[in-house]
Structure 1
């Protein structure tokens, strides 16, 4: 029976209708080391159905009232909680306490990068994160240095998580079909995910550097008022896309040592 939930363009909804792919996505989480699973944007519940079968406590979070009503009427299992809320505005600690989370979803493409940034912000609580994105975004998250798609999202994600691009999903398995391929990727938090530098400064350095990615770091980081001596360092001759995560950590340490940690 077809779901009565209509895909809404303003919410960026494309409902997955292939259950084999839904099952495959549900298996991207290890279900080990975290107490709760948070599914973002469950839509018609095609992924929810497989998550419930794990026996883990599942919270399905959506902003679509029609979807919430359908899920509540269709899935009556005791390990499922359906919540009408916006993940980008949700306070995870208030909702889940100090529980470690595995986050999963077929993410709305129009806010998928923001969802990843929110997960990075909540990295102390997010042990695993997996799901479906527009293919280009999934690849960007997992991309290494030296590639034109390597950028802010790549560095900030890989600073705290191991990332892996898993598989590509064609448009025809969605209703309505998107105009692009989709990609499924997984992030697992690093065992040592605190950086050996000022993390606030690290975020600022990465974002400022890539905001003028065609320039060398010497030019793109002018707003940091670096000393002439520091600007002579060979690292400032590079463009940001050449620096690995450890390179950005080193750069942040150098800037902090230059006496500019108060420029955060």
Structure 2
């Protein structure tokens, strides 16, 4: 236990406070360490993807490629998601988005930033079909997303809500984690999980620090634990793109490290990430590009 005036503890115990998740890790120390170093057991073969260095850019746009020291994105690569001149207004209200352009490729980690009310969540909901996108403004793998049913999008795009409670459907953490594997089938009619599925589920629980919470109601978790559960629940079925709406909000530094570690594994499996955040300073060194609204 540490005891003393705050100023004194900050001077003499910085390393211990960082280990407790009360301060950010020192520069140069690997983020995501709290989530461990082993790869998440793969449920599907990974896609080929390059990693690129983060770079701030102009509002409402994202570069087609930002080269990394290890090599640039292949010029022939096709984007997963394209946003072209997207403008959207709610009925009877002002424009929420105007003239937005963006491209997201496999392996990208894009940070979506902006003030409250700038349209970040609106953009994510337009992508998922929770709001009607104008024809021709959003394309998924070259197809106009307006003609795609929500369930088709959900098969390829994982979405983590800003309020994790909106996602919970099961009585305990374990059932919540594996819910997507059963597609809503009643408990008595469910098939047994394969060994690979069980391994992946338990590994994700370990990465999220929730191994000892298996039988606890999701609603009784801390806010940070709820967010971690909502993230790993989406990871049970690997998807091409994950949209995370403020996954680090209200977390301590240790929990943020876990989120970063999980995101790094998403990239290793070939997925792309679109992360809405008000904490870009904590994550920017891992991002490939930024969209600022």
Q: What is the TM-score normalised by the length of structure 2?
A: 0.25
Q: Which has the higher contact order (CA 8 A, sep 6+)?
A: 2
Structure with the larger helix share: 1
Q: What is the TM-score normalised by the length of structure 1?
A: 0.28
